[in-house]
Amino acid sequence: MTVMERVARNVRKRREARAWTQQHLADKLQMQRAYVTQIEGGTRGVSLEVLEKLAREFQCSIGALLGESPTRPPKRRKRP
């Protein structure tokens, strides 16, 4: 799965979890609904500025929108 596809999936999932329409999200972001449709369809990439706006509206990190898994500290190896 490409980064664009992961962003598309995560934006749609977070929008639908809030029961927002694409128009509602577009209004909150001050952009056209068609642009939100293209983001969710994976046919249009997003800039860092737009990722930041999306993360702010969804109250999540940009990493979460990119589909990054939470980082965990490396396991310590037991010494023999």
Per-residue pLDDT 10s for the chain (80 aa) are 899 999 999 999 999 999 999 999 999 999 999 999 999 999 999 999 999 999 999 999 999 999 876 555 555 667 66
Q: What is the DSSP letter of 75?
A: P
Q: Does domain 3-66 have CATH number 1.10.260.40?
A: yes
* pTM (2 d.p.): 0.81
Structural domain boundaries of the chain? 3-66
d(C-alpha 18, C-alpha 10), whole Å = 13
pLDDT in the model for residue 31: 96
pLDDT in the model for residue 74: 52
pLDDT in the model for residue 62: 95
